[in-house]
Structure 1
Amino acid sequence: MKHIFYYLILILTLSSCNEINDDVKDLKKHVSLKIEPKSTQFKIEKIGDGRLGPSDYTLIAEIEFEKKDLEQLKKQVKTKSNHSFYAGFKKESLDFLSPEIFEIFDYDKTSEKYKINVTTYEAQYFYANPLINGFCIFPKKGNRIFLYLFTT
């Protein structure tokens, strides 16, 4: 019952899926942010139509922090994960990312998806129900992170 309530909240707070949002306050409705970001761009994508069970959601975000805040965040998020095996992202899921973030992906011609080519880190630090799975990436350039969270 508790999970149904969280899914309802998520559905109600989503004005429209797949649209790019740059409002930090809106991001905080979906992600636990203990350090205030400087800026963000994110989108929430719906998976499934809800007819044969509940739909799932993914959140793809690029979040910019002040340099000192990013260093503090790196100390908090230090567990490496093994998400390099992730099946990949479609181009339209990543089309809003800055060049600094986009270069962490390699295009795979066989699957026609973009795959991660750098180390990923566990993202529990950012989890907020129902987005309780995922990973984050700290690109070498800039003060931004890539965050990918999902419901199941």
Structure 2
Amino acid sequence: MKRLFILFACLVVFSCSDKESEVSTDVNQLSEFINLPAKPLSVKWAYRRSGNGLLGPSDYAITAVIKLNEADFKELRTKYKLQAAHYADRTKDFVKDWFPPSVKNCIKDNGSLVSVVVWENPKEFEKSPLVNGYCFFTNNNEVFVYMFTT
């Protein structure tokens, strides 16, 4: 009986790992997950599922880099000028190979962690159930968006 319990526990623990999708450039598919406040020139994004639903619901997250035309970018950026931004520390695996140099340049390496200035809960991108998150802006008319379920 004890062996059966240990086997079950191992299966549960090892099956709860994060699963990240392939990187996509499909604007229409991204718009099914998050709101897009303007028509993007291009997007790169991936979603991640955490958990397998056995011990509770799975959580989901979207990481996206959205390139906008200059006018749309300035309009969106203006909405955030009066909001307080703060540094957010993340583990180094936060930085993905597919992030463009303009995004990577916004992220500061602090040894064991990386930091980035973010704006919390970007309402313009919210779409249930992805209602939590943050964003930041690059110098290349791009907005980095991270939205998650919990």
> Aligning the two structures, in what range does the TM-score lie when normalised by the shorter sequence?
0.7 to 0.9
Structure with bigger gyration radius: 2
Structure 1 unaligned segments of length 5 or more: list them: 1-15
> In the alignment, is residue 80 of structure 1 matched against residue 84 of structure 2?
yes
TM-score (norm 2): 0.77
Cα gap change, 1:115 to 1:88, in 2 (>3 Å): farther
Task: Specify the alignment match of 2:43 in structure 1.
Answer: 40
Task: Specify the alignment match of 1:25 in structure 2.
Answer: 28
Query: Matches of 1:56 and 1:86 in 2, distance apart?
Result: 21
Query: Matches of 1:26 and 1:67 in 2, distance apart?
Result: 23
Deviates more, 1:72-81 or 1:93-102: 72-81
Letter in 2 for 1:66: N
Q: CA deviation at 1:74?
A: 1.3
RMSD across aligned C-alpha pairs, in angstroms? 1.9
Deviations 1:63-101 (A, max 9, x none): 00000110111123442344x23433515x522110011
Query: Matches of 2:78 and 2:108 in 1, distance apart?
Result: 27
Is the contact made by 1:89 and 1:115 (CA closer than 8 Å) also made in structure 2?
no
Letter in 1 for 2:65: E
Query: Matches of 1:81 and 1:130 in 2, distance apart?
Result: 24
Cα gap change, 1:59 to 1:36, in 2 (>3 Å): same
Q: CA deviation at 1:50?
A: 1.6
Q: CA deviation at 1:57?
A: 0.9
Structure 2 unaligned segments of length 5 or more: list them: 1-18
Task: Specify the alignment match of 1:125 in structure 2.
Answer: 124
Identity of aligned residues (%): 28
Aligned residue runs from structure 1 range 84-103, under 5 A: 84-90=87-93, 94-103=96-105
Structure number with higher strand proportion = 2
Query: Matches of 1:89 and 1:57 in 2, distance apart?
Result: 20
Q: CA deviation at 1:106?
A: 2.4
